[in-house]
Amino acid sequence: MTSNHPATAPTTTTAIPRVGSSVSHGKTILIGEHAVVYGAPALVLPVTDVRVTATATPLPATHSSGAEHVLESSVHTGPFGLAPAAVLPTTTAVTATLRHLADLGYPHAVDTAFHVRVDSQVPTARGMGSSAAVAAAVTAAVADALGVVLDRATHHDLIQACERVAHGRPSGLDARGVVADEPVWFEHDVVEPVQLTGRFVFVVADTGVPGHTREAVAAVRERHDRAPEVVDAVVQRIGDLARAARGTLVDGDAQALGATMDAAHELLTTLDVSSGDLDRLVGAARSADALGAKLTGGGRGGCVLALAADDEHATRIVTALRDAGAAATWTTSIGARA
């Protein structure tokens, strides 16, 4: 968790390092994938029931320069020096946080090594913000171990530093979504939470096929280069759907939100970023009377997002999706309980 109060330099005393911990969660794009690249707005949905938990335990120094950090995760367990490239964003989360706190004058940020454990339920390469969620949990856990609560801006900057290692030029959608408790609106330089009326229940279903975001983005870019007026028209329509979806969230109109999701999937299909696996799961959700269903994320693999009327309906949608071959499903809700 983060605070609105920024971390400041210590005054007279500094807390002795302790076991720090933090939890983040996955995210998914409700409306706006691909179109956001061309300036259209997007709505990002937190998936709060799919979590990452990180703990940071101080290690005793074994020599004058201190012990080496150790990572324990499903990808690598062992010293940072032996870590593969796949976990470089995670190790960056530790070192960047300590460097930031050292710059603020926290002495233990310089002389303490940590055993960092990461337990993640967020699948990788599925458009659910796995790397950002891990970075969010690890950065906050390391800060917590030194008695520091990161302010939101600093936390975001640290997550983005890890995301640059993972993705090169991250948009910031993942970094915002994995720490939000409500939908987040992105439009140009505007980033703001969306207030909800009522409760919305979603099912996320994994095709079992990794998403190919870079490939899909490149294909849309090539299509835009060939026929910019065609792609621009689709982008504008997706942007209009995002604005409409924001209104339905504010009004509590689940039926109307579902209609925008269905329309968004059809538009994304015209951009050739869907796939047979995604379309099959979208069809299965609709056969179970989902209020709406669409691919979510970069496409060409990854996940489908479906909107249910309530928890019981979500259970029926989950059954239909699993029968259609979904590798995994998650049910999550946003807004107040009725």
Q: How many CA atoms lie within 13 A of 283 on its CB side?
A: 10
DSSP 211-275: --HHHHHHHHHHHHHH-HHHHHHHHHHHHHHHHHHHHHHHHT-HHHHHHHHHHHHHHHHHTT---
Q: Is 189 a catalytic residue?
A: no
Task: Give the span between the Cα atoms of 139 and 149, in whole angstroms.
Answer: 10
Q: How many CA atoms lie within 13 A of 40 on its CB side?
A: 25
Tokens of residue 165, six digits: 């290692």
Instruction: Kindly give, in sequence order, each residue whose CB lies less than 8 Å from that of residue 169, ignoring residues fewer than 6 positions away.
Output: none
Of 144, 174, 206, 277, catalytic: 174
User: Do residues 145 and 17 lie in contact, with contact meaning Cβ atoms separated by under 8 Å?
Assistant: yes
Instruction: Kindly give, in sequence order, each residue whose CB lies less than 8 Å from that of residue 240, ignoring residues fewer than 6 positions away.
Output: none
User: Do residues 181 and 336 lie in contact, with contact meaning Cβ atoms separated by under 8 Å?
Assistant: no
Alpha carbon of residue 99 to chain centroid: 24
Backbone angles phi, psi at 33, to 5 degrees: -60, 145
Alpha carbon of residue 256 to chain centroid: 25
Give the CA radius of gyration of the chain: 21
Residues with a known catalytic role: 174
